[in-house]
Amino acid sequence: MILNNIDSLLLICGVEVGKHFYWEFQGITFHGQVFIVSLFVITIILLFSILGTNNIKVIPESFQNFMEFVVEFTQTIARDQIGESYYRPWIPFVGTLFLFILGCNWAGALIPWKLIELPEGELAAPTNDINTTVALALITSFSYFYAGINKKGLSYFKRYIQPTPVLLPINILEDFTKPLSLSFRLFGNILADELTVSVLVMLIPLIIPLPIMILGLFASSIQALIFSTLASAYIGEALEGH
């Protein structure tokens, strides 16, 4: 009986690295397992949003109270990093980034996706796939370029030769390292967390992994906060010019 329980835990918590489930459509290959979990997370966020904005009351209750807290939290991130003068149009972007990354991280940590069998690979947090984190980092890069160009026009690119033209290569390199740093930080932390839990389950399957999983939830939340905070800081830097 104990061996059966251990086998069940291993089945639920095991992580297959390097194996993926792909869809082929019109000659285009899609990463199936990332799409499935991402759509699940998006559906949950939309459901919470609908429940939180349906039948709005002056004194908020239940889901409305929760969604107002989320909006205020993301609004604080945007205001602190972007600045009082410019932050309001960027609240939806910052909030979407934070909620999507948090939802993906928690989906990988809380839901036993291993119980759903795929022809190849397994379902897991979309953020433990480098393609997802790179896509999020590139969206962030396009956003702060758009913010700077939209406010300053082509004069935005003068920042590459400020305060001296000697810094041109360094300033250009900085714009390449920002998305690299964002994507690899998020990918590495989420993948490492899932692999750590898997290894501990294999070694000590009953008790020790639980505190690690709780710590993983906390770390997942911190990673979502870090990503959205840095994205806001980059946008604020593009708008303010320093």
Domain of residue 93: give its range: 18-240
Is 8 a domain residue?
no
Alpha-carbon distance 28 to 24, whole Å? Answer: 6
Is 181 a domain residue?
yes
Query: pTM to 2 decimals?
Result: 0.81
Alpha-carbon distance 204 to 185, whole Å? Answer: 28
Is 9 a domain residue?
no
Is 11 a domain residue?
no
φ, ψ for residue 146 (rounded to 5)? -60, -45
Residue 23, SS3? strand
> Do 76 and 187 contact (CB within 8 A), yes or no?
no
pLDDT digits (tens, 9 = 90+) for 166-177: 778 887 888 888
Q: How many domains is the chain partitioned into structurally? A: 1
pLDDT digits (tens, 9 = 90+) for 185-214: 888 888 877 777 667 666 665 566 667 677
Which two three-digit tokens encode residue 112?
């036993």
Cis bond leading into 205, ω under 30°?
Answer: no
Please compute the mean of the pLDDT values over residues 32-36 and round it to a whole number: 80
Residue 162, SS3? coil
Tell me: pLDDT of 7 over 50: no
pLDDT band of 1, cuts 50, 70, 90? very low
pLDDT digits (tens, 9 = 90+) for 109-138: 777 666 666 666 677 788 888 888 999 999
Name every residue whose Cβ is closer than 8 Å to that of residue 9 and which is 6 or more positions away in sequence: 201, 205, 206
Is 5 a domain residue?
no
The alpha-carbon radius of gyration of the chain (Å, integer) is: 21
Alpha-carbon distance 71 to 78, whole Å? Answer: 11
> Do 155 and 120 contact (CB within 8 A), yes or no?
no
Q: Which of 36, 14, 47 is nearest to 132 (CA)?
A: 36
φ, ψ for residue 31 (rounded to 5)? -80, 95
Is 12 a domain residue?
no
Is 1 a domain residue?
no
